[in-house]
Chains A and B, each alone.
Chain A
Amino acid sequence: MKLTKDTDRDCAQAWEAMPWVLQDSAPPEQSAWLTEHLARCEACREEFAQQSQLRLALALPTDIDLDPEVGLKRLMGRIDATQVEETQTHARTGTWFTRALVAAVLVQALGIGVLGIKLWSEGDAQSYRTLSQPTPAAMPGAIHVVPDAGMKLADWNTLLHSLQLQVVGGPNDVGAYTVVPAHAAGTSDTLQQLRSTHGIRLAEPATTSP
């Protein structure tokens, strides 16, 4: 920096203060001090005059001639175009979503319909019955049998197999099974055989039970 006359501390301080005094943003005391300094310092006066000139020149309107109304119109057009685009995008997204929703509902309705038809066609006929379900009306030749608690499963199975009996119900609350003969053999004989078998506590015809 070529500041031959500005080596003085006051001149350096004046140099610092000039832009802000020119801006009118310096504190009043700083402005007053600078005014005093300029009165007795020719170099700083010249510098300040040049700074004032610079500020004056920079305050001139630009030499580039642009019509703000043209630019503003273009900006509004840009905003309009963006809003239209956003609306269209939103509409497209909405249409797609609605269509997907309708398709999903239709598929669901179709599925429910098919399931309904299938269930209706099967009717009440059941090809099975669980043992926990209530015992159906006593079948012809059905016998209630209560095996001893200590009877082994293998012995029970052997007995059923030998007498050709099939379990159709039970055990109920008292541990009774309902069995029916596989063939229409005499129920009374089967009853006698059951009663005489070791490990069978009770054997009674189901039809005679209270």
Chain B
Amino acid sequence: MKDADIDADETDRLLLQRMASGDRAALAVLYRSYHGRLCRFLSRLTRRADLIEEVINDCFWIVWQKAATFKGESRVSTWIIGIAYRCGLKALRQRGDEPVDDENLPEDRTPAHDPGEDRELRDWLSKGMERLSADQRVVVELVYGVGHTLDDVAAIMQCPVGTIKARLFHARVKLRNVLPALAGDQLTQKESVP
């Protein structure tokens, strides 16, 4: 774990301790700190903004109630994202929804301030991710987007590490086969290769 991650985890633990004694200001800090991450993570499961907000609130409702029971066996971020993942699956089950595919992202869903390059990159990613299953998308998001280890992802998704490794492997193979063609059409490779 990097020093920055250790510091962040330490801060999160302190916030949880304060929350356990009913400190709402600590809850607000933790909520704001995780909102963006959870929003992006949950957008791999569903594109519905109302559902994402509901899941984030359900997640933090549980975090608020269980703050005192956090044993510290994992990073706080692993614990919180695991709760969000289970809340997300539950919400989708209750509505009879399947995790959605990323196809046909409406134009008005992309922020107006999105620079052209980011927008191209986003479209490139979107088209690649739509070829993956929901479980594969979640693993890719957690490893590449959030920066979790295989053990963390296994804890979040409550699966054996071997299963996570297999999902990541198959996701990478699919992306490897799909993304270069998309990049040729839409994205100019500007990055230097090490």
* Residues 41-95 of A contacting B (Cβ, < 8 Å): 45-66, 68, 70-72, 74-76, 78-79
Apart from A52-B191, A72-B32, A72-B35: 20 A-B pairs, beta carbons within 8 A: A20-B149, A22-B144, A25-B147, A25-B149, A38-B193, A38-B194, A46-B193, A50-B176, A50-B183, A53-B124, A57-B122, A58-B40, A61-B40, A63-B43, A64-B47, A64-B109, A65-B49, A66-B39, A66-B52, A79-B61
Alpha-carbon distance A185/B102, docked complex (angstroms) = 124
Main SS class of interface, A: helix
B124 x A57 contact (CB < 8 A)? yes
Stretch at the interface among B80-88, B110-118, B154-162: B110-118
Is B17 among interface residues, defined by CB-CB distance under 8 A? no
A45 x B179 contact (CB < 8 A)? no
B125 x A58 contact (CB < 8 A)? yes
Interface centre among B1, B36, B121 (most CB of A within 10 A): B121
Residues of B within 8 A of A71 (CB): 31, 35, 53, 56-57
Residues of B within 8 A of A62 (CB): 36, 39-40, 43
Residues of A within 8 A of B134 (CB): none
A60 x B143 contact (CB < 8 A)? no
The interface on chain B, measured as residues whose beta carbon lies within 8 A of the other chain's beta carbons, has a size of 54
Is A127 among interface residues, defined by CB-CB distance under 8 A? no
B194 x A48 contact (CB < 8 A)? yes
Residues of B within 8 A of A48 (CB): 193-194
Q: List 29 A-B contacts (CB under 8 A).
A: A1-B169, A1-B173, A23-B143, A23-B144, A23-B147, A25-B2, A25-B147, A38-B194, A49-B189, A50-B180, A53-B179, A54-B140, A58-B40, A58-B140, A60-B121, A61-B40, A63-B43, A64-B43, A65-B49, A65-B111, A66-B39, A66-B49, A68-B36, A71-B57, A74-B53, A75-B31, A79-B24, A79-B61, A79-B64
* Residues 10-63 of B contacting A (Cβ, < 8 Å): 24, 27-28, 31-32, 35-36, 39-40, 43, 47, 49, 52-53, 56-57, 60-61
Alpha-carbon distance A51/B172, docked complex (angstroms) = 9
In the assembled complex, the CB of A3 is this many whole angstroms from the nearest CB of chain B, namely 8
In the assembled complex, the CB of A40 is this many whole angstroms from the nearest CB of chain B, namely 12
Residues of B within 8 A of A72 (CB): 28, 31-32, 35
Residues 166-182 of B, flagged 1 when their CB comes within 8 A of A and 0 if not, give: 00110011011101100
Is A19 among interface residues, defined by CB-CB distance under 8 A? yes
Is A8 among interface residues, defined by CB-CB distance under 8 A? no
Known: A2-B177, A76-B24. A64 touches B193 (CB 8 A): no
What residue of chain B has the Cβ atom nearest to residue A83's Cβ? B22
In the assembled complex, the CB of B169 is this many whole angstroms from the nearest CB of chain A, namely 8
In the assembled complex, the CB of A163 is this many whole angstroms from the nearest CB of chain B, namely 91
Closest CB pairs A-B (n = 5):
A58-B145, A57-B125, A68-B35, A62-B40, A45-B193
B191 x A64 contact (CB < 8 A)? no
Interface centre among B2, B111, B147 (most CB of A within 10 A): B147
What residue of chain A has the Cβ atom nearest to residue B177's Cβ? A2
Residues of A within 8 A of B61 (CB): 75, 78-79
A24 x B2 contact (CB < 8 A)? yes
A25 x B1 contact (CB < 8 A)? yes
In the assembled complex, the CB of B68 is this many whole angstroms from the nearest CB of chain A, namely 15
